[in-house]
Amino acid sequence: MKSKKQHNIVTYIILIAGILLMLVPLAVTIISSFKTTREITGNFFGLPEEWTLANFERLFNDGITQYFLNSAFLTVVSVALIILVIPMAAYSIARYMERRKIFAIMYTLLILGMFVPFQVIMLPMAKLMSDFGMTNLLGLTILYLTYAIPQTLFLYVGYIKTIVPTEMDEAAAIDGAGKFTMYRKIIFPLMKPMHATVLIINALWVWNDFLMPLLVLNKDSSTWTMPLFQYNYQGMYFSDYGPSFASYVVGIIPILIVYLIFQKNIISGMTSGSVK
């Protein structure tokens, strides 16, 4: 009994330490966004002498709204395409991969993309995007959809094979439903937990991604995303920390809201989708 109690104490200490490691930087960022640069450099962990919105006003005067909207467009459209397109392929593969060898080969080739580091393909990818004239928001959206295929397909196929029985297809076929009607009215709604998981994973990735926008969008400042704006903003005002911290807060809020809305579904979706 005593050893179990000691084990619980150690567990709680580790959990509390982990919570502090996550919350302290977030709290410091939020507080610093309401401080002047002088206060940040003079007393980094202290509260502001006078809470001010001047940093946020400066951000909006410097055009952060445009970059926020660029990131919002990129995230919403990319995630919508991922959730609309990839489940259809996953459904076909999950249902036919054991009966037709071509589907199993296709599935294997597609998920092999998970093992290819992005650094290996980033320069050829950037050259290809430039050659096709796709160094814009639409081109980057298609790129996100393409790069999301391996992991997302793996999750959806595992989820369908585990959670969605083939008997539902047979019952719908007996009732006269076609393949697309069956998928749209029965299969797609049944994948809501996985949709939530995929939405959170990919929204976090697209919203916070820096490297792909840097390679594809950096030539035209009007198409910058939030991370790209923050990177270049720090370069212009490297000693002015107040607006930089304010830009981090503006970037955190939308994705934090999305996570809080859908976080109930992410655990069930991940565990179900990772098991065949």
66 backbone dihedrals φ, ψ, rounded to 5° = -60, -45
Does residue 49 lie in a domain region? no
Are residues 67 and 6 both part of a single domain? no
Q: d(Cα 114, Cα 110) in Å, to the nearest integer?
A: 8
151 and 21 in a common domain: no
Query: Is the same domain home to 97 and 222?
Result: yes
Do both 22 and 158 map to the same domain? no
Residues 101 and 17 placed together within one structural domain of the fold:
no
CA 216, CA 224: separation in Å to the nearest integer?
Answer: 10
Same domain, 175 and 74: yes
CATH number of the domain residue 139 falls in? 1.10.3720.10
The DSSP symbol for 36 reads: -
Residue 40 maps to a domain: no
Residues 16 and 62 grouped into a single domain:
no
Asked if 175 and 89 sit in the same domain, the reply is: yes
Q: Do 145 and 240 belong to one domain?
A: yes
DSSP 79-141: HHHHHHHHHHHHHHHHHHTTT-HHHHHHHHHHHGGGGS-HHHHHHHHHHHHHHTT--SHHHHH
150, 97: one domain: yes
Range of the domain at 23: 2-32
Single-letter residue type at 53 = L
Question: Does residue 44 lie within any of the structural domains?
Answer: no
* 194 lies in some domain: yes
Rounded-to-integer distance, Cα 181 and Cα 168, Å: 13
| pTM reported for the whole predicted model | 0.84
Q: Quote the number of domains for the chain.
A: 2
Whether residue 268 is found in the same domain as residue 229: yes
181 domain residue, yes or no:
yes
Q: Give me the tens of pLDDT residue by residue for the chain, a chain 276 residues long.
A: 557 777 778 888 898 988 888 888 888 889 888 988 888 888 888 888 888 888 899 888 888 899 999 999 999 999 999 999 999 999 989 888 888 888 889 899 999 888 888 888 888 888 888 888 888 999 999 999 999 999 999 999 988 888 877 777 777 777 777 777 888 888 888 888 889 889 988 999 999 999 899 988 888 888 899 998 888 876 655 667 888 888 889 988 888 888 787 776 665 555 554 444
Residue 156, domain member (yes or no): yes
Residue 23 lies in a domain: yes
Evaluate whether 254 touches 67 at the Cβ level (below 8 Å).
no
Residues 260 and 188 in one domain: yes
The answer to whether residue 41 sits within a structural domain is no
